[in-house]
Amino acid sequence: MGVGGDYLNEEMQDGIAGIFVLNRKEWVQPQQGPGGYRSGVVYFSKLKWLIAVGPAGSDYSTDGGISWQSISADGFHAVKTGQADGSVWASGAKRQIAKLNY
């Protein structure tokens, strides 16, 4: 799974995510991508979710990136899973740090 977009147009949703299909050796577009420019994506193995973050909000996918739902309007720049407890951490502007509570 890859995410991105236009950081100068954070709300644009066209072509901002792609799923690499191994047996076809090609990138495909999801049916419904994240809600705008996203700067990071991570796989949350506890719930089998993909979580994408960006300055305009965060989204999650329960179906391998085919469709996405908003999880928060808070902006973040990076996302990472914790090794010890399988948590998800995000960081953003102005020293903002968040932990996913599920």
pTM of the model: 0.87
The half-sphere exposure of 59 on its side-chain side, counting CA atoms within 13 A, is: 28
Domain that holds residue 61: 2-99
pLDDT digits (tens, 9 = 90+) for 58-93: 999 999 999 999 999 999 999 999 887 788 999 998
Q: How many CB atoms lie within 10 A of CB 63?
A: 12
Q: How many domains does the chain have?
A: 1
pLDDT digits (tens, 9 = 90+) for 20-51: 888 989 988 888 889 999 999 999 988 899 99
